C-alpha cells in the first residue's frame, strides 16, 4: 500500500511508529487494523502441539495491515551466562537494550527489496523437518523455524541442525497453548522454558517469537520483550495444516509472493508431507522470480 493512499488515522500511526522505530533496531511501518483479524483457534489437547485451528486467512496481508521489520543489524553472538530456574528464565542482563513492548506483531519485512521470509512452525519433527532442511540446504537459503519447546527438547539434534545450517530459531511456546487463555505466569513459563531449551542447546536464546494460532495478547508482548524477543506473525498463510494438497500450498505461496512477504508453513503438528513437497516446488520458483529468501536480523 502506498502511503498516499493511507487514511489520516493510519498516517498518524505511521508517524508515531516511525518515531518509535528511531530508537530501535526494528521499526514499525503500519499498524491500523491488526488484532481484529486473528481469531483464536480451539486450544489443543494439553501437552501436545496441534495445528493452528484458526489462523489469519491466506489474504491476511491486506486485511491485517502490514507491519514490517527492516533487514538490519547483524547476527547476535552467543551469550554466556548462567542458566536460571525455568520459571524465572531471563535474557542476558547486559547485551543491548531490550526491545520495546509491542502492541502487535510484525507482519512483513520492509526496505528489503525483493526479499521474502519462509517460516516453519511447530517443530522440529523428525518425520518432516529433515525434508525441509534438505531442500533449504540444496538451494542455500535461510529460513525461520518457530519451534515448540517440548518438540525442541525431544529433538535436540534437529534443533542443532537448524542452527548449524544458519536458520533462525524462533520461540513458539512450549506446548502450543492458546495464549489469551493463560494467566501471565503460564505465558512466562511457556515462553521462558522454550527459550531456555534453545539457549542451553545452542548457546543463544531466540530473538523472535510467534504466538500459537496467531493469538497474541498484552501479556505476551510484555513477556516477550522481557525475554528479549520481538513478535513476528506472517503475511501469507499457506494453511498447509488443513492439508489442502501440495499444489494448493504452492499456489498460495506463488499468489502471495511479494517484496517483504513472510510465509507461514508448518513442519510439525500433523501430516506435513504436503508442506515438505510444496517447498520443493515453490522455493525454486521464488528464486527464479528474483526473490531473495532471507531472515530478519536483530
Catalytic residues: 121, 266
Q: What x-and-dash track marks residues 203-242 binding Zn ion by CB under 5 A?
A: ---------x------------------------------
Closest CB to Zn ion among 91 and 212? 212
Please select the residue that binds Zn ion; options are 32, 67, 121, 230, rule is CB under 5 A.
121
Task: Report the residue closest to Zn ion, judged by CB.
Answer: 121
Euclidean distance between CA atoms 62 and 275, whole angstroms? 24
Euclidean distance between CA atoms 236 and 59, whole angstroms? 6
Euclidean distance between CA atoms 263 and 253, whole angstroms? 7
CA 65 vs. chain centroid, Å, equals 17
CB of residue 182 to Zn ion, shortest distance in Å: 15
State which H helix or E strand residue 11 sits in: helix 8-21
Number of residues that bind Zn ion (CB under 5 A): 4
DSSP state at residue 86 = G
35: closest CA among 13, 63, 14? 63
Closest CB to Zn ion among 199 and 237? 237
Stretch that binds Zn ion, among 14-22, 30-38, 120-128, 224-232 (CB under 5 A): 120-128
Stretch that binds Zn ion, among 14-22, 114-122, 154-162, 272-280 (CB under 5 A): 114-122
Stretch that binds Zn ion, among 90-98, 115-123, 244-252, 256-264 (CB under 5 A): 115-123
Euclidean distance between CA atoms 3 and 148, whole angstroms? 37
Q: What x-and-dash track marks residues 27-66 binding Zn ion by CB under 5 A?
A: -------------------------x--------------
Local structure of 179: helix, strand or coil: helix
Euclidean distance between CA atoms 165 and 30, whole angstroms? 32
CB of residue 176 to Zn ion, shortest distance in Å: 6
Euclidean distance between CA atoms 210 and 170, whole angstroms? 7
Euclidean distance between CA atoms 134 and 157, whole angstroms? 15
CB of residue 23 to Zn ion, shortest distance in Å: 31
Closest CB to Zn ion among 122 and 237? 122
- For residue 69 the three cell numbers come to 521489520
122 binds Zn ion (CB under 5 A): yes
Closest CB to Zn ion among 32 and 121? 121
State the residues that interact with Zn ion by CB under 5 A: 52, 121-122, 212
Amino acid at each position: 500500500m502506498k502511503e498516499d493512499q493511507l487514511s489520516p488515522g493510519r498516517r498518524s500511526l505511521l508517524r508515531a511508529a516511525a518515531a518509535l522505530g528511531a530508537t530501535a533496531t526494528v521499526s514499525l511501518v503500519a499498524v491500523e487494523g491488526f488484532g481484529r483479524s486473528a481469531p483464536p483457534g480451539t486450544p489443543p489437547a494439553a501437552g501436545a502441539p496441534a495445528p493452528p485451528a484458526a489462523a489469519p486467512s491466506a489474504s491476511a496481508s491486506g486485511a491485517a495491515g502490514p507491519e514490517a521489520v527492516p533487514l538490519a543489524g547483524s547476527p547476535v553472538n552467543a551469550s554466556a551466562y548462567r542458566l536460571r530456574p525455568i520459571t524465572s528464565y531471563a535474557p542476558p542482563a547486559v547485551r543491548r537494550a531490550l526491545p520495546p513492548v509491542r502492541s502487535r506483531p510484525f507482519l512483513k519485512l520492509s526496505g528489503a527489496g525483493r526479499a521474502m521470509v519462509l517460516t516453519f512452525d511447530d517443530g522440529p519433527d523428525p518425520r518432516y523437518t529433515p525434508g525441509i532442511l534438505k531442500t533449504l540446504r540444496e538451494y542455500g537459503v535461510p529460513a525461520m523455524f518457530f519451534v515448540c519447546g517440548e518438540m525442541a527438547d525431544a529433538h535436540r539434534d534437529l534443533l542443532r541442525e537448524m542452527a548449524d545450517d544458519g536458520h533462525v530459531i524462533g520461540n513458539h511456546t512450549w506446548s502450543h497453548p492458546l495464549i489469551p487463555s493463560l494467566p501471565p505466569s503460564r505465558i512466562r513459563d511457556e515462553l521462558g522454558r522454550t527459550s531456555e531449551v534453545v539457549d542451553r542447546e545452542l548457546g543463544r536464546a531466540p530473538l523472535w517469537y510467534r504466538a500459537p494460532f496467531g493469538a497474541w495478547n498484552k501479556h505476551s508482548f510484555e513477556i516477550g520483550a522481557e525475554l528479549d524477543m520481538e513478535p513476528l506473525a506472517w503475511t501469507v498463510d499457506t494453511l498447509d495444516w488443513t492439508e489442502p494438497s501440495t499444489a494448493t500450498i504452492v499456489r498460495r505461496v506463488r499468489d502471495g509472493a511479494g517484496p517483504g512477504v513472510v510465509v507461514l508453513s508448518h513442519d510439525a503438528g500433523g501430516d506435513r508431507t504436503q508442506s515438505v513437497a510444496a517447498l520443493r516446488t515453490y522455493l525454486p520458483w521464488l528464486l527464479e522470480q528474483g526473490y531473495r529468501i532471507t531472515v530478519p536480523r536483530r
